[in-house]
Amino acid sequence: KAGVTQTPRYLIKTRGQQVTLSCSPISGHRSVSWYQQTPGQGLQFLFEYFSETQRNKGNFPGRFSGRQFSNSRSEMNVSTLELGDSALYLCASSLAKEGVFFGQGTRLTVV
Amino acid sequence: AQRVTQPEKLLSVFKGAPVELKCNYSYSGSPELFWYVQYSRQRLQLLLRHISRESIKGFTADLNKGETSFHLKKPFAQEEDSAMYYCALKGSGGYQKVTFGTGTKLQVIP
């Protein structure tokens, strides 16, 4: 089974721009969640989708948004990028009663 | 609200010494607890889950509901155990978000 796939692996954007990150979950997994990982803050939960519906949301500003498609693939969008948005963005998929399985992440650098 | 606390940011031990990575949680129901590990330049991966009661790479973790703890232990540390370890909690009942602790960096000194 293929693992969680995230694209692109690396991105460099300038302040004020917007960015869209993509995630393909493990086949059969309907739950997709997103996390931001930084050296200072560790792993912070962004949001979780299940069957195209956002089920949980972390404490991030409205500039961070996401969606899930009918094939369970998910995208995350960040608008009006700030320098502090530079981080590793991780996507994870899961089945009920199991842990989450992570992708390799997208390294976003805002300059 | 669910919360996971890992009090140590860095834990340094000598090779062959016992390891204990602490994790305490706060949750009103019956949670599922996990340990994740991230080796250098690798993706975050599941190490073990309390439901399985298994030992992975010599690591074990016991859920103590009285102390609301899920400490990760290994009797003899190896250099390849050096990594970032995250404790995580998933609430019970349907699909619940997973809450991670801030992580503990384990450094095994040769």
B94 neighbourhood in chain A, CB within 8 Å: 96
pLDDT-derived band at B51 (thresholds 50, 70, 90) equals confident
Which pLDDT does position A69 carry in this prediction?
96
Name the nearest CA neighbour of B62 among B53, A57, B102. B53
Which pLDDT does position B39 carry in this prediction?
94
A102 vs B44: CB contact, 8 Å cut-off?
yes
b/e map of B81-106 (b: 16 or more CB within 10 Å)? bbbbbbbbbbbeeebbbbbbbbbbeb
Q: What pLDDT, in 10s, does the model give residues B7-41?
A: 999 999 999 999 999 999 998 888 889 999 999 98
Q: Whats the size of chain B, residue-wise? A: 110
Mean pLDDT computed over B48-70: 87
Q: What pLDDT, in 10s, does the model give residues A37-87?
A: 998 788 898 999 999 999 888 889 999 999 999 999 999 999 999 999 999
A99 neighbourhood in chain B, CB within 8 Å: 32, 34, 36, 46, 49, 88, 90, 98
B97 pLDDT higher than 90: no
Q: CB contact, 8 Å: B103 with chain A?
A: yes
Number of other CB atoms surrounding residue B60 within 10 Å: 15
Mean of per-residue pLDDT scores for chain B: 91
The region of weakest confidence among A80-84, B57-61, B97-101 is B97-101
Phi, psi (degrees; rounded to nearest 5) at B64:
-110, 100
pLDDT-derived band at B104 (thresholds 50, 70, 90) equals very high
With CA atoms as reference, the chain A residue closest to B104 would be: A42
Q: CB contact, 8 Å: B104 with chain A?
A: no
Share above pLDDT 90 across residues of chain A, in percent, rounded to a whole number: 74
Which pLDDT does position A1 carry in this prediction?
67
How close B27 comes to chain A (CA, Å)? 16
Share above pLDDT 70 across residues of chain B, in percent, rounded to a whole number: 96
A17 pLDDT higher than 80: yes
Mean of per-residue pLDDT scores for chain A: 93
Which pLDDT does position A65 carry in this prediction?
97
Probe site for chain A from B46, B98, B104 (most A CB atoms < 10 A): B98
A102 neighbourhood in chain B, CB within 8 Å: 36, 43-45
B83 pLDDT higher than 80: yes
- How far is Cα B20 from Cα B25, in angstroms, rounded to an integer? 16
With CA atoms as reference, the chain B residue closest to A42 would be: B102
How close A95 comes to chain B (CA, Å)? 8
B87 pLDDT higher than 70: yes
B101 vs A42: CB contact, 8 Å cut-off?
yes
